[in-house]
Amino acid sequence: MSSISEAYQSTRNHTVEICKPLRTEDYIPQPVAFASPAKWHIAHTTWFFEEFVLSTYLPGYQRFDPDFAYLFNSYYNSIGERTLRAERGNLTRPGVDQVYAYRAHVDAHMLELLEGDTPDELREIVVLGINHEQQHQELLVTDIKYILGHNPTFPQYKAGASLVNGKNAQTGWLAIAEGIYDIGFSGNGFHFDNEIGAHKVYLHAFEISRSLVTNGEFIEFIKAGAYQDFSLWLDEAWAWIQADDIKSPMYWHMIDGQWYQYTLDGLQKVNPLDALCHVSYYEAAAFAEWRGQRLPTEFEWEAASSQFDWGERWEWTNSAYLAYPNFKKVSGAIGEYNGKFMINQMVLRGASVATSNGHSRNTYRNFFHARDQWQFSGIRLAK
């Protein structure tokens, strides 16, 4: 079996493993527009291989169901019409069993295709599909948590799967000298298009924390009345916490004077020593303001990242999601992958405990809207 075939199978199997603890009813709900149903994720990642690989590279391939191209396209306008994101939860049909049959159909044909020679062009699109599915594996975990975490009975997804109990192994501050630093991906290996355009950036001298902000530190922020102090918040952030009545990180609940949080292992007491999780950029910026410090830029983070531990939480930076110098979108649908989202979003760096193995590197640029809390996001301070 070729290495690309093994990587494909391993990735596809991991998605199925993530879904094993689910009951049939868990696959379908979509309580908010940004959290897609599990059934949609497993169908969409299958659609990616059918649409971009099999329909082009496997002669005579017959689609499993012609309607699926419409139902499970995400945002690729070049491909055609698609189900609106907010309506994915309305897809009670096809059923979960049929979606898994679709997955088996595509897998069988993919393995047939990968048995032969894999020209560079084919290999590149399969590797992109593998990394695309790894992205959706993390989204699966976060969306499952959102769906179960907003059930008033706080059901357990899986015993021992808390994912929010990581602790800092390092303390103190790391001093980074003024200078010119290389930023962006260079060399061999997979990378997304938003990482290229390697370039040099001048940085003033700064310090960056070796540790992530902990739950205990954030509890002090709450106790100080920070969510009621407009002076700490960006104007848009203040409007957000007022409109949505935000008073704590997502999944935190005050019960009998004690903070609890919903985890994938059920409701648990908040451990003050654990790394903070599920905060928005707005909250990260307000906390930094309260501490008299700031968030690092994504360039500062990358320049310093070899000297501290990272990977427990996606870390908010103070950088807007913009193109690097010489960034160019490729032609066709694949060109829609990253470039068109370079507006009104902030960059997060690192990885999280929900990130699939082999899917992280210090040049990786994740991005979400400033209000988003449902990812495994935390805070590292700079000064």
pLDDT tens track for 211-250:
999 999 999 999 999 999 999 999 999 999 999 999 999 9
Residues 95 and 233 placed together within one structural domain of the fold: no
pLDDT tens track for 262-304:
999 999 999 999 999 999 999 999 999 999 999 999 999 999 9
Domain count, the chain: 2
What phi, psi does 318 have (nearest 5°)? -95, 25
d(CA 59, CA 72): 23
Residues 226 and 125 placed together within one structural domain of the fold: no
For the chain, give the number of residues: 383
Q: Is residue 8 part of a domain?
A: yes
Residues 311 and 223 placed together within one structural domain of the fold: yes
pLDDT of residue 326: 84
Q: Is residue 17 part of a domain?
A: yes
d(CA 149, CA 168): 25
pLDDT of residue 77: 74
Provide the residue range defining the domain that includes 82: 3-149
* pLDDT at position 105 over 80: yes
Q: Is residue 162 part of a domain?
A: no
Residues 102 and 67 placed together within one structural domain of the fold: yes
Distances (CA, A) of 343 to 203, 323, 334, 340, 346: 24, 10, 18, 8, 9
- Give the pLDDT band (50/70/90) at residue 79: confident
| pTM for the model | 0.96
How many CB atoms neighbour CB 347 within 10 A?
24
* pLDDT at position 1 over 60: no
pLDDT tens track for 124-158:
999 999 999 999 999 999 999 999 999 999 999 99
Q: Is residue 163 part of a domain?
A: no
Distances (CA, A) of 1 to 118, 239, 342: 12, 56, 39
Residues 296 and 201 placed together within one structural domain of the fold: yes
Token pair for residue 352? 């999280």
Residues 97 and 186 placed together within one structural domain of the fold: no
Residues 72 and 190 placed together within one structural domain of the fold: no
Domain boundary among 149, 183, 205: 149
Q: Is residue 23 part of a domain?
A: yes
Residues 374 and 229 placed together within one structural domain of the fold: yes
* pLDDT at position 49 over 60: yes
d(CA 104, CA 108): 6
Residue indicated by tokens 């102090």 = 229
Q: Is residue 55 part of a domain?
A: yes
Domain boundary among 149, 183, 218: 149
The CATH number linked to 320 is: 3.90.1580.10
Listed residue (333, 334, 359, 357) closest to 131, CA to CA: 359
Residues 185 and 221 placed together within one structural domain of the fold: yes
Domain boundary among 106, 133, 149: 149
Residues 177 and 324 placed together within one structural domain of the fold: yes
Q: Is residue 144 part of a domain?
A: yes
6 within 8 A of 130, measured Cβ to Cβ: no
Residues 234 and 347 placed together within one structural domain of the fold: yes
Q: Is residue 383 part of a domain?
A: no
Residues 196 and 98 placed together within one structural domain of the fold: no
